[in-house]
Structure 1
Amino acid sequence: MPETKAAKRPRGRPRKYPEASMTPAERQAERRRRQNRAESDLDALRDAIGRIIRHTERLYAVMYSG
């Protein structure tokens, strides 16, 4: 009988410190992955803030031009 996804899934609570069971290379890769994700999230946030500022400037220009 083939194993289902539920059968493969670990039981119980997720580990609080999964890094403890990783090899140093895995730990470094995980750290790098988290860092990259944080940087991409930060870039997205910067883009959104820039968009908000541009829209606000355009709004003020329209409001006070007449």
Structure 2
Amino acid sequence: TFTYKMIDNIFISADVFISTGKSTANPCPIMLYIHAGGWTGGSRANFSTPLFMEFLKRGFVVVSIDYR
């Protein structure tokens, strides 16, 4: 988990998922996941595990963010 922004003393965070054994020394594709919720609900933890696993299996780094 990384804090990428702070607004009005509220930390806005992102979770970064990298497959086991994946080297981060070289550039790789990223799948950025922005949860549903219409700016009023939800969180970066509300994701589809099978979807994330498929992207990880294909060599992507997966990033799930919160927003305010």
TM-score band, normalised by shorter chain = under 0.3
Q: Which has more radius of gyration?
A: 1
Q: Quick one: higher RCO (CA 8 Å, sep 6+), 1 or 2? A: 2
Tell me the TM-score normalized by structure 1.
0.20
More strand by share: 2
More helix by share: 1
